[in-house]
Structure 1
Amino acid sequence: MEPHDGAQTPPTPPANGQHTSYSSDNSTVRRTNIEIRDLESQSPKTVDRNFRRFLGLSLPVPANLDDIEDDLAESEDGGPLDCQSIDDHPNGYPRLAALLNSDEDFLICRQYGFLHNRVLLYRQDELRELEQKLLVMDNITQEKDDTMLKCRMREERETDERRALINRIDDKLREYNDIVQRTRSFATLQRAMKRNHTSVWNWIHNNAPLVQAEASTFNQDRDFVAIVDAREGGWFDTLIEPALSKFGGSIGRQMFIPKHNRSSTSDKLVRLYSKRRINLFSRLIVTFLAAVLLMAPVIALFVTKERAGIKILIIFLFTLTFSVALSTCTKAKRHEVFAATVAYCAVLVVFLGNIGGPQQ
């Protein structure tokens, strides 16, 4: 797809044309009622799924493994079993909307920051002009009759010019405040990750749902923002998903892509991973790394027979590694990172003192 004139050059698709996408667990419709039979009358009764889970009651067991997987996918991912797939929609804006709706990572839009600021500057200068007119009117009125500025009713009996100007200023202030709030709301949104924008652009490039002029909107990658804030560990998840695409194979797709996501599109280049399963897998990895960061320095200090300077260096390196991992893999604030790092270092120093005491 050729870039539109004046547009930023779009990201270059991979050499092999492969496009990898990622999925969300969220859905707009969910079946929450199931049907059971009364033990005495054997008449069907509708029971809410959430109520049964609250009471700790088990759900009816499906008759075959496919039904079990479908029911598991519904309860785990929160998605409807009978929802329309991406391919059910005609190619064009309908299918593009279905793709964006299939994953929260695809919920991106243009900020139009340049246009917001142009309108903001225009409204701002309109108010400057009206402000100047009001100040000139005040000076003229003061020279003619300064009592007119002390009594609004007296002035309005003679002329309605000031009231009309004030009403115009009020209208422009509303427009100005509106554009300020809109600009602020878009400015607070996080910039869309380049990987998510590239996935959407690759799909548009490969499937051509839009004409060239309208598809060029997606070429402005630096102007796109994420509608949904990234979850905790989102940065770490972005490392896991490409690894699954490259090295996971069929086993990885079976484990991390629910059945209803696999059947949502016939495009083999689109892989809609389960956010819940990816999140669980990343939590397991982070838990393992946390245990390693705690036990590795303890073992290193215990087996090291070198002088105290080497042991202090070990504590420093592992404390630094812990602080970096906490800052990059979580959304901890600065004071939380500082407090956790101090506590981690204190544990290692106390252990060093305990193993050094008997030797001294």
Structure 2
Amino acid sequence: MDLENGDGARLMSRKDDLQQARREETQSVREGLISTIQHKLVTYDDILAKARDLNAFQRPSNRDYHSFRTWFWNVKPLNYEPEEDFIKRREDLVSLRHGREWSGFDGLVETCIRKMHGPLTQKLFATKELREKTDDKCLYYYSQSRIEKLVGLIITLIIFILLVLPVVAMYKLTSVGDRNSTFDAVGILVVFTLLFSAAMSLLTKAKRHELFAASAAYCAVLVVFISNFSNDGSHQNG
């Protein structure tokens, strides 16, 4: 209106006010945009943190996964096949079982117990609370602590055999005092050291350096045993 009326001075006097209003409008838009970006960035960081925590969960073992699929096959809780397809995406599943030492041998023992499922195994390896936890014939629980005790007993027996048998065999060989018997004792040492290493790797979750240290200690004990009895045999012969 001022321009149409020819009042140019009025327009010049309001020039600074218009620029200030435009700057304030631009600043307001900028602040709103920054606030929106900040909100989305915080939300994205929260999602990343939750994804990292979720990725840290344990993946289900073969035994747990197949048990879960068997339960789905028998019970069919969803009754709608497309919704059950997620069970086939094993890489997306996680297990809530607490972290603990659980080797393949432990799983083998538990699998054998499950295959022999019956009143006796339920009584030996399931507490009263676990037996009363479910009445579903396709679902039953075993006490992990009792299974671990059985596994510990079996491992103790195997270690005892691996320690006693080579000692008895080498004692009989070295007591003869023959040179060939000493070489035979060394052969027994090598064989039982390999058996001990294999037992350590299969029955436990020992790391490489732990496996190396245990095998070296086992071999050293047998070497000392051979040397002592070889010296005793030579003294007796002299």
Q: Same fold (TM over 0.5)?
A: yes
Q: Does 1:223 align with 2:89?
A: no
Alpha carbons 2:125, 2:142 under 8 Å: kept? yes
Q: Report the counterpart of residue 50 of structure 2 in structure 1.
A: 182
**2-structure distance, mates of 1:273, 1:158:** 69
**Structure 1 residue 193: Cα displacement:** 0.8
Would the alpha carbon gap of residues 162 and 272 (structure 1) be closer, same or farther in structure 2, given more than 3 Å must change? Answer: same
Would the alpha carbon gap of residues 211 and 356 (structure 1) be closer, same or farther in structure 2, given more than 3 Å must change? Answer: same
- Which has the larger share of helix? 2
Q: Report the counterpart of residue 18 of structure 2 in structure 1.
A: none
**1-structure distance, mates of 2:33, 2:105:** 57
Q: Report the counterpart of residue 228 of structure 2 in structure 1.
A: 354
Would the alpha carbon gap of residues 186 and 334 (structure 1) be closer, same or farther in structure 2, given more than 3 Å must change? Answer: farther
Greater relative contact order, per chain length (Cα 8 Å cut-off, separation 6+): 1
Alpha carbons 2:103, 2:205 under 8 Å: kept? no
Q: Report the counterpart of residue 48 of structure 1 in structure 2.
A: none
Question: Is there any run of 5+ residues in structure 1 with no aligned partner, and where?
Answer: 1-155
Would the alpha carbon gap of residues 313 and 175 (structure 1) be closer, same or farther in structure 2, given more than 3 Å must change? Answer: farther
**1-structure distance, mates of 2:24, 2:191:** 81
Secondary structure of the residue aligned to 2:94 is strand
**1-structure distance, mates of 2:187, 2:31:** 75
Q: Report the counterpart of residue 199 of structure 1 in structure 2.
A: 67
**Structure 1 residue 297: Cα displacement:** 1.7
Measured against aligned partners, the alpha-carbon deviations of 1:295-322 in whole angstroms (never above 9, x if no partner) come to 1221222223644443333222322322
**Structure 1 residue 278: Cα displacement:** 1.2
Secondary structure of the residue aligned to 1:358 is helix
**2-structure distance, mates of 1:358, 1:229:** 53
**Structure 1 residue 248: Cα displacement:** 6.1
What is the total number of aligned residue pairs between the two structures? 205
Q: Does 1:239 align with 2:113?
A: no
Q: Report the counterpart of residue 253 of structure 1 in structure 2.
A: 122
Q: Determine which of 312, 337, 341 is the counterpart of 2:215.
A: 341
AA in 1 matched with 2:161: V
Alpha carbons 2:106, 2:203 under 8 Å: kept? no
TM-score (norm 2): 0.71
**Considering only aligned residues, what root-mean-square deviation do their CA atoms show, in Å?**
2.9
Would the alpha carbon gap of residues 228 and 251 (structure 1) be closer, same or farther in structure 2, given more than 3 Å must change? Answer: closer
Q: Report the counterpart of residue 319 of structure 1 in structure 2.
A: 193
AA in 2 matched with 1:341: S
Would the alpha carbon gap of residues 323 and 187 (structure 1) be closer, same or farther in structure 2, given more than 3 Å must change? Answer: farther
AA in 2 matched with 1:254: K
**Structure 1 residue 260: Cα displacement:** 3.4
Alpha carbons 2:60, 2:93 under 8 Å: kept? yes
TM-score (norm 1): 0.49
Structure having the higher Rg: 2
**2-structure distance, mates of 1:227, 1:290:** 32
Q: Report the counterpart of residue 214 of structure 1 in structure 2.
A: 83
Would the alpha carbon gap of residues 252 and 162 (structure 1) be closer, same or farther in structure 2, given more than 3 Å must change? Answer: same
AA in 2 matched with 1:323: S
Q: Report the counterpart of residue 117 of structure 1 in structure 2.
A: none
